[in-house]
Structure 1
Amino acid sequence: MKKIVKFGVIPLLIITIGLMVYNYPRLNIITGFAAKSVCSCTFEAGRDLASIEAGDNDINPVYYAKNVVNEEEKSVTSTVFGLKKRKAIYKQGVGCVLLPEDYKNIDFKPNRKISNKKLPFPYGNLAQKDTLFFNINYQVLQNAVDKAFDKEGEQLKRTRAVVVIYKDQIVAEKYSSGFNKDTKLLGWSMTKSITNGVLGILEKQGKINVNQTNLFPEWKQDNRAKITLNNLLQMNSGLEWVEDYNNISDVTKMLFLADDMTEIQLNKPLVNESNNSWNYSSGTTNLLSRFIRNQFQTHQEYLDFWYTELIDKIGMDSMIIETDISGNYVGSSYAWATARDWAKFGLLYLHNGNWNGEQLLNSSWVHYSKTPTNGSNGEYGAQFWLNAGGVYPNVPRDLFSCNGYQGQHVFIIPSKDLVVVRFGLAENPLFNIDQFLREVTSAIQ
Structure 2
Amino acid sequence: MRRTSMTTLSSALLALSALQISNAAETETTENAYAAGYLAGFTCSAVFNGNKEVSAIRRDELTGIYPLVADKVQQMEPEINRDHRYVRVTYDEGQRARISVWRPKLGCVDLPVGASINAIAKVANPFADAVASSGDDGAPWAERPLRLNDEQQQALTAVIDRAFGKAYGSGARTSAVLVVSPEHIIAEKYQPGFTPETAQRTWSVAKSIGASVIGAAVQQRLLEVDEPAGLENWSHELDPRRAITLENLLHMASGLDSNKAGNRTDRVYMGGGLVSDTATESALEVTPGERWKYANNDTLLALRTLRERFATLDDYLRFPYAQLLDKVGMEHTFLETDWQGDFILSSQVWTTARDLARLGVLHLNNGVWNGEQILPADWLNYISSPAPAQPPTAAPGYGAQWWLYNERFPELPNDTIAARGNRGQFLVIIPSRNLVIVRRGYDIAGEPGFNEHDFTRDVLRALAL
Which whole-Å CA distance do the structure 1 matches of 2:173 and 2:59 have between them?
12
The answer to whether the 8 A contact 1:238-1:275 is kept is yes
Which whole-Å CA distance do the structure 1 matches of 2:196 and 2:62 have between them?
23
> Which position in structure 2 is the counterpart of 1:26?
31
Secondary structure (helix, strand or coil) at the match of 1:86 reads strand
Matched, 1:64 2:72: yes
> Which position in structure 1 is the counterpart of 2:323?
309
> Which position in structure 2 is the counterpart of 1:256?
270
C-alpha change, 1:80 and 1:211, in structure 2 (3 Å) is same
Which whole-Å CA distance do the structure 2 matches of 1:349 and 1:243 have between them?
33
The answer to whether the 8 A contact 1:36-1:97 is kept is yes
1:382 to 400, 404, 423: 400
> Which position in structure 1 is the counterpart of 2:354?
340
> Which position in structure 1 is the counterpart of 2:459?
440
Q: Which amino acid aligns with 2:81?
A: N
1:185-232 per-position Cα deviation (integer Å, ceiling 9, x unaligned): 211111111211111122122232111125113213311111111101
Matched, 1:158 2:173: yes
Which whole-Å CA distance do the structure 2 matches of 1:181 and 1:136 have between them?
27
Which whole-Å CA distance do the structure 2 matches of 1:99 and 1:111 have between them?
18
> Which position in structure 2 is the counterpart of 1:185?
200
Per mean C-alpha deviation after superposition, the further-off stretch among 173-182 and 66-75 is: 66-75
Matched, 1:147 2:171: no
Q: CA deviation at 1:64?
A: 2.6
> Which position in structure 2 is the counterpart of 1:229?
246
Per mean C-alpha deviation after superposition, the further-off stretch among 380-389 and 69-78 is: 69-78
> Which position in structure 1 is the counterpart of 2:21?
none
Q: CA deviation at 1:405?
A: 1.1
Matched, 1:275 2:285: no
Which whole-Å CA distance do the structure 2 matches of 1:371 and 1:253 have between them?
32
1:75-113 per-position Cα deviation (integer Å, ceiling 9, x unaligned): 222245636532212222321111222425223224899
1:317-366 per-position Cα deviation (integer Å, ceiling 9, x unaligned): 11111121112221111222221111100111122212233221123222
1:206 to 218, 221, 224: 221
Matched, 1:53 2:58: yes
Secondary structure (helix, strand or coil) at the match of 1:443 reads helix
Q: CA deviation at 1:383?
A: 1.0
Q: Which amino acid aligns with 2:109?
A: V
The answer to whether the 8 A contact 2:140-2:183 is kept is no
The answer to whether the 8 A contact 1:260-1:326 is kept is yes
Which whole-Å CA distance do the structure 1 matches of 2:84 and 2:219 have between them?
42
Secondary structure (helix, strand or coil) at the match of 1:411 reads strand
Matched, 1:75 2:86: yes
Q: CA deviation at 1:419?
A: 0.2
Secondary structure (helix, strand or coil) at the match of 1:257 reads coil
Per mean C-alpha deviation after superposition, the further-off stretch among 95-104 and 306-315 is: 95-104
Identity percentage over the alignment? 31
The answer to whether the 8 A contact 1:112-1:307 is kept is no
Which whole-Å CA distance do the structure 2 matches of 1:139 and 1:164 have between them?
15
The answer to whether the 8 A contact 1:188-1:333 is kept is yes
Structure 2: segments with no counterpart, 5+ residues: 1-25
What is the 5 A alignment of 1:362-441?
362-373=376-387, 374-376=389-391, 377=393, 379-388=397-406, 390=408, 392-426=409-443, 429-441=448-460
What is the 5 A alignment of 1:62-141?
62-65=70-73, 66-68=76-78, 69-79=80-90, 82=93, 85-100=97-112, 101-102=114-115, 103-105=119-121, 106-110=123-127, 121-123=138-140, 128-133=143-148, 137-141=152-156
Which whole-Å CA distance do the structure 2 matches of 1:404 and 1:29 have between them?
21
1:292 to 298, 303, 306: 306
Per mean C-alpha deviation after superposition, the further-off stretch among 59-68 and 264-273 is: 59-68
The answer to whether the 8 A contact 1:123-1:356 is kept is no
Which whole-Å CA distance do the structure 1 matches of 2:411 and 2:91 have between them?
45
The answer to whether the 8 A contact 1:276-1:375 is kept is no
Q: CA deviation at 1:74?
A: 2.1
> Which position in structure 2 is the counterpart of 1:44?
49
Which whole-Å CA distance do the structure 2 matches of 1:351 and 1:420 have between them?
15
Which whole-Å CA distance do the structure 1 matches of 2:390 and 2:61 have between them?
33
What is the 5 A alignment of 1:163-174?
163-174=178-189
- Highest relative contact order (Cα 8 Å, sep 6+), 1 or 2? 2
Secondary structure (helix, strand or coil) at the match of 1:336 reads strand
C-alpha change, 1:355 and 1:31, in structure 2 (3 Å) is same
C-alpha change, 1:131 and 1:104, in structure 2 (3 Å) is closer
TM value normalised by structure 1: 0.86
The answer to whether the 8 A contact 1:163-1:340 is kept is yes
Which whole-Å CA distance do the structure 1 matches of 2:450 and 2:380 have between them?
28
The answer to whether the 8 A contact 2:104-2:127 is kept is no
C-alpha change, 1:253 and 1:115, in structure 2 (3 Å) is closer
Number of aligned positions between the proteins:
416
C-alpha change, 1:412 and 1:115, in structure 2 (3 Å) is farther
